[in-house]
Structures are given as structure tokens and as C-alpha cells.
Structure 1
Amino acid sequence: MKRSYFLILSLFITVNLVAQITISNNDMPSANDIYHMSITTNLQGNDPVLTGINYLWDYSQLQANIQRSDTFVTVTSTPFAYQFYFNNILLYPTHKASYAIKGNDINFQVVSMTDLFDFYKNATSQYANVGFGANINGVPSSTRRIPVDVQYVFPLNYNNNNISYSEFLVSIPTIGDYGQSQERIDTVDGWGSVITPLGTFNCLRVKSILNITDTLYTSQFGIGLSFPRPQQIEYKWVAIGSGVPVLKITTAVGGSQIEYQDNLMVGINDNILPIYHFKAFPNPAKESILIDFQSLKKEQITINLKDINGKIVKQIYNGNIEKGNNHIFLSLSEFSNGIYFLEMRINNHTKTEKLIIAR
């Protein structure tokens, strides 16, 4: 019902009738809402940095390469083991979730998090990701974010600013611990109208700077490793009643992902390279690196490390990857100082990342 009302409203909005809006928790999703999201990695020449007051963002030329349908489900419809923290208002009131949505799997060589659901709490004062449930190496479990990841503070208006910090830690049986810390710096840096292939919407533009660090501790060797990721920036265009952003652009070293609300389509041309945000960090590196990338779908890939002359010095990975976030750890102890290139090959396409080893 909310989505139908939102689409009807959008038909009456024109560039000449734009007024600054305020977003509240009533404009966030509700349980059982379904959103069809078109996804591409081609900005069509647009610069997401551009913004302003009473601004017109024209993304009408975006062309979808793949599409997904997001359904916000009730907490009680998720696996029972996932609900431990998110359906208990007496013991865990901060983490009592409003609903959940299927998230991206996380694959970290010895750590596999599949069938992942992100849990969200929609309160009058803020909208936050409170944690997730997943099968971790085949064992269903529930993991809280402490503190929670606050994504919006209400009421949301132009020039609002907010900084939040969140982290989680997952215990991996017989292996150790995997964790992640995140700093989110939010600014509502514009308002006006955004044009997407779905229509024209009166909106606020929210810029989020994300500083994320992954940590991995192996109990067998008693070694802890920390991997600060390159900074990631999200640009979100949020409209009254839109639920999720009508347009979201995520940029980082290695490329951009653009997703926008759309009508359900069939026969989308997905003849594109489905890998984005392919990067290695730290870079320059001394002892080890984390190779990080995201995939729009399950694929077969090969990753090689080449020297400055183009000679393969090591095949790092050859096999299937899962849809979602993928991480590969590589020790550099066997390599000399110098310039190298990480090369990913997939479906006759190649992506390359320069790597410097300097001790």
C-alpha cells in the first residue's frame, strides 16, 4: 500500500513544484513491503558528488544490468536461531528489530556467512541496522551490532549531520573470531528533484562516508590481523514514502554500484562484468593483504599475482565465488619488495589492481 501511494505521488511532482521536505520514520519501509531494485555499474557520465539547494539530479539515462526484489519480512518469519537478540524486548530492547531483509553473503576463505538476514529497527528517533543472522560455517547464529549502525536520525532535514560508530564480533568454531568496526559520517548535503528511469521525485540527498576495518583472529596460531578498508561513500536520494532510497550510489576504490527503485522487468541484459569494488588493502603492504570485492551473482573466477613484467608469480584463487561480499587473505612472506599486479579474470573480462610491497 505504501509503495502504491508513493508511486502515485511521484506522478504529480514536477521540477517547478519542488519544496524542501522532511523525512520521518513514517517514510521508512514496513514489514511485507517489496521493492524492485535495478542495478548497474555505469554512471552514464553522471558525477554523484554534485549537489545543492533546489538541485536537479538527472539520472534518467541509467540502464539496468541486473535486478533484484527486496522484501522486508517480519522478524518471526526468519530462522528461529536468528531471532535470539532481535525478538526479545525485555532482555535486548536496543536490538528489538522491526523487520529483516535478506542481505549479501560474506565469504572470507575459512569463514562463510550464508543465508544472511540484516535486522533493522525503525523508531521515531532513528533508523538503525541492529545486527544480522546467518549460517556461519553452517551453524545458524545471531549477531548484534554494538553499538547499532544508525543510518538516519529523525526528523531528517537539509544540513543535518550525524556520526555513529558500530561493530560486531563473530566467533567461528575451531577457527577464531571475525569482526568489523565501522564509522559512519552522515550529512544531508542537498535537496531538490531526482529523475530516475522510474520517475521524478522530490527528495533529500544524504551523503555517508564509511570507514570500515575488518579483523581476523586465528586461535590456532594466536594471531590477530586488522585490515582497514579504503574509504567508501554512499549517496542516497530519499523521498517521502519511498521506504528505501529511490536512488543509491556507492563509490569506492575499484568502481561504483548504482541501484534504483524500478518496475519489475524481465530479459535484462546482464552481459557485464558482475564484479565491482575489486581492491587490496593495505596498499602499500608489508606482511599480508586482504583482497576484497563484491559480486552481483555467483561466478567462476581466477585471481593471479603478476610481477612488473607481467609474469604470473602465484595463482591466488581459481574457483567459484558467491554472490555478495568476498574476501581473500594473502600472506606476502614469499614475495620480495616491488610492484605487482593483482589480475582477476572472469568471463573473458579482466580487472587489475596495482599492489606495492614495501617493508
Structure 2
Amino acid sequence: MKTWKPLQNITAPMFMILLASLFFNQTVTAQIVLTQNSFDAFLNSEFSNTSSVSSDAEKIIALLEIKGADRTWDFTTLTFDGTFTGSGKSETTSTTAGTPGAGDEHFDQATHVSRNQFSVKGIMNDEEVELEFLSYEYSIINDDAFVSLGSIIMDDENPEEVFITQYSRPGQVYYTFPATFESAWDYEYEDEFIIGGLDNTSDYSVNVVIDGWGELITPNGTFNVLRITKTEALDFGFFKLESMEVEFVNAQGFPIAILNIEKIPFTEEYDEESAEATLNEFSTGTSNPREISSDLPDRATLHQNYPNPFNPATFITYDLAEAATVSLDIYSITGIKVMPLVNNRVQQAGRHSVSVDASGLASGVYIYQLRTGTQVLTRKMTLIK
């Protein structure tokens, strides 16, 4: 019997995808440009929604083939065979304190920590499905990118106990900024799931391209969207399992419609049995944006990069006690500047994180230095290739 993948694999990132449709209503205009500020509105929200699911493979594949500028995707042609209702609440801070990820060196790099409560119920393939969960998602959102570090899902019967811990190392790059038509990025990450005493790790390579913009026609109205195609490969050695997810996102940067499909191994053909489309409609919803709170230090703090040692990607995180003009650079052990990261940029008080791609550097020990105008802070990092 076919299982609805979004429900089967529901995690904190999926919660945020469902939450995003809260901001459905918009006037059709020109193509969208996404920045860090695009995500502010829904970081603290309460909502209820209806999600419809289709397995109409032939029409889903036809929608997958429509790419380019000023295009139209008509979801009214799909037959939906499953409907779910849900409600939830998300609250976001900039500290891991008081969350189950506190003290975890991977999650401590987060600039945004979202506490998500969610419930969903409905009928799929004549089966009743009901789910409630509390989760925490740990992310880095800055001027350069939106990166998910992973999530923790609590036990629904005992909310004080951790049920699933998911690490994405060094992180899943949801977006690089600014993101608009023809933007593209690649990344690799290790995904580790810890469930009870079981620990499973998989390595993925991902290609993301914003390959379309235009109008999305649904039974609920017509919306201005970007089309984002993510192709993910799981390498088993003798073959790769490839899956494709196409998201149609609104001006707040999250999907109001999603297409999923897998490729048949050893071919470039689609596996029609895996085709699935999800359309979200929020019947009620209120946005309650709040200032992201944080216990600010008395002085600027430069944290140890993570992971360390690393190859070739890592994150450097620092806290500012007040707004400052910031420079962050990497030096060789002999004092030669090899990579500027932040160049005299005015930044607000709070936590900041910068991603580092050291693929152009040789193995060795490097020094990274933060200058704020009143302080100079230095730490060492080790690149091993």
C-alpha cells in the first residue's frame, strides 16, 4: 500500500514547510527575490491548515517538465486522493538554552532555534492517520544562507523524552542569498538519525537550481511563485538512488506546493509509483512576529569553528554584545591572509554564523580572527584533506 512520504518522513523541516503556506494570499507580480529578511514573518506563528495529496503520476510528470521564466503551473488538473488537516505553533529564539540541544556542539552553532508544536489527522488510502509532535529545529540564517543543522523530535507520549535526534553535517543549505530565478548551489552533507538505540548515517549530494518563475494555479487561487528543483543522490557505491523535489515557493520563501518523484536506478526515467504532489491551504492563520531573544554576552565572543578538524566546510560562530563594524578573516599559520569572510560590515547585537568553504586551501592549521573595533579575538582551526 502506498505511504504518503511527507507524513512518513515528517520532521521539523517538514513542519516549517507546512507552516509556510500561512502566507498564501498574494498578488501576482514579477519574479521573487529571497533574502534573509524574507523568513522573518513566520518564525513565530500560530496556524491551521488543510493539505491535499495527489498520486496522479502522468500529470505530475507533465508539471515537472515545465520550467523557465514567466511560466504557468496548473494544479487544478490533478486529482487529489488524500486530505489532512493540521494546526500548530512555532516560537523562535537565537539561543539553544532551555532546549534539548543545549550543550551539543553541533546545535550550539545555531542562530535560530524553532520550537514547533504540530498535530495532523486525515484519511489516506482508506487509512486514518493521526500524529502529534513537539520538535526543535536548529538553523543558521544569515546574510549568506539558510542552513539547517538538524532537529530533535520529542516523544509524543512523554514530551520530556527525546524520540529522534537528526544531525545534518555540516548542514543542509536550504537557500543561498539572494535567491531568485537561475540561482543555483550544490552541497554535500551527512545525515545521522538516532532513534532509541538505533543510529543510521547516510551521505547525500544535492544540486539545487531555481529553474522557473511565474503563476501557480490552484483550486484556492493563483499565486506568484519561484520554482526550486532539488535533486538529491544517496550513494550506495555500486549505484545511486536519486530523488527529485520541486517546490513552488512564495515571497516568504517556503513551498505552497510540492512535487516529489524518484528516478529508476541505472536510468534517467522517472519512477511513476513514487510520484506525489502536495498542496497546502491555510484556512485560518495569524502571524505574531516577535523579536528574537538572546542572553547577550558583556563582550564579543568568538566560538570554536564546527566541525573541527574539517574537510572542506565548517562554520564560524560569534556573538556581539552590541552593534559593531565587523571583520572576520582566515590567516595561514605564518600570518598571511588567505580568506576574507566578513569585510567591515555593520552587524547588530546577537549571534552570527559564517559558512567557510576551504576547498581551495591546503591541509594544515589556520587562524581565524574577529575584529569588532574594540576587540580582536583569535582561534585556530584545522583543515584535513
TM-score, normalised via structure 2 length: 0.50
- Equivalent residue for 2:76? 60
- Equivalent residue for 2:112? 97
Say whether the 8 Å CA contact 1:34–1:71 is kept in structure 2. yes
Q: Counterpart amino acid of 2:66? A: L
Distance 1:193 1:245, change over 3 A: same
Distance across 1 between alignment mates of 2:23 and 2:77 = 22
Q: Counterpart amino acid of 1:126? A: A
Q: Find the partner of 2:260 among 240, 250, 262.
A: 250
Note the C-alpha offset of 1:124: 3.1
Q: Find the partner of 2:200 among 175, 178, 187.
A: 178
- Equivalent residue for 1:268? none
Q: Counterpart amino acid of 2:83? A: I
The superposition leaves residues 26-56 of structure 1 with CA deviations (integer Å, 9 ceiling, x where unpaired) of 3333222536252313347241222111111
Distance 1:72 1:142, change over 3 A: same
The superposition leaves residues 231-253 of structure 1 with CA deviations (integer Å, 9 ceiling, x where unpaired) of 11011111213x52111111113
Note the C-alpha offset of 1:228: 6.7
- Equivalent residue for 1:23? 34
Q: Counterpart amino acid of 2:224? A: N
Number of aligned residues: 233
Q: Counterpart amino acid of 1:82? A: P
Q: Does 1:211 align with 2:233?
A: yes
- Equivalent residue for 1:45? 59
The SS at the match of 2:26 is helix
Distance across 1 between alignment mates of 2:204 and 2:117 = 20
Distance across 2 between alignment mates of 1:172 and 1:193 = 41
Note the C-alpha offset of 1:209: 0.1
Distance across 2 between alignment mates of 1:102 and 1:79 = 18
Distance 1:94 1:197, change over 3 A: farther
Equivalent positions of 1:216-227 (< 5 A) are none
Note the C-alpha offset of 1:161: 0.8
- Equivalent residue for 1:196? 218
The superposition leaves residues 120-156 of structure 1 with CA deviations (integer Å, 9 ceiling, x where unpaired) of 52333222221121359x9626443211111111111
Q: Does 1:161 align with 2:174?
A: no
Q: Does 1:125 align with 2:148?
A: no
The SS at the match of 1:60 is helix
Note the C-alpha offset of 1:116: 7.0
- Equivalent residue for 2:88? 71
Gaps of at least 5 residues in structure 1 are: 105-113, 215-225, 266-359
Distance across 2 between alignment mates of 1:134 and 1:53 = 39
Between the aligned residues of both structures, percent identity stands at 18
Say whether the 8 Å CA contact 1:57–1:195 is kept in structure 2. yes
Note the C-alpha offset of 1:171: 5.5
The SS at the match of 1:57 is strand
- Equivalent residue for 1:233? 244
Note the C-alpha offset of 1:97: 3.1
Say whether the 8 Å CA contact 2:101–2:152 is kept in structure 1. yes
The superposition leaves residues 143-198 of structure 1 with CA deviations (integer Å, 9 ceiling, x where unpaired) of 4321111111111111111011121335667x663112222210011111111122
Distance across 2 between alignment mates of 1:80 and 1:166 = 27
Distance 1:179 1:149, change over 3 A: same
- Equivalent residue for 1:339? none
Q: Find the partner of 1:84 among 98, 102, 105.
A: 102
Distance across 2 between alignment mates of 1:159 and 1:249 = 19
Say whether the 8 Å CA contact 1:166–1:181 is kept in structure 2. yes
TM-score, normalised via structure 1 length: 0.54
Distance across 1 between alignment mates of 2:204 and 2:134 = 19
Distance across 1 between alignment mates of 2:20 and 2:154 = 31
Q: Which moved more, 1:93-102 or 1:58-67?
A: 93-102
Distance across 2 between alignment mates of 1:118 and 1:69 = 18
Distance 1:176 1:248, change over 3 A: closer
Gaps of at least 5 residues in structure 2 are: 1-18, 120-131, 263-270, 285-385
Say whether the 8 Å CA contact 1:208–1:235 is kept in structure 2. yes
Say whether the 8 Å CA contact 1:24–1:154 is kept in structure 2. yes
RMSD value, Cα: 4.0
Q: Counterpart amino acid of 1:127? A: F
Note the C-alpha offset of 1:101: 4.3
Say whether the 8 Å CA contact 1:99–1:120 is kept in structure 2. yes
Distance across 1 between alignment mates of 2:166 and 2:200 = 11
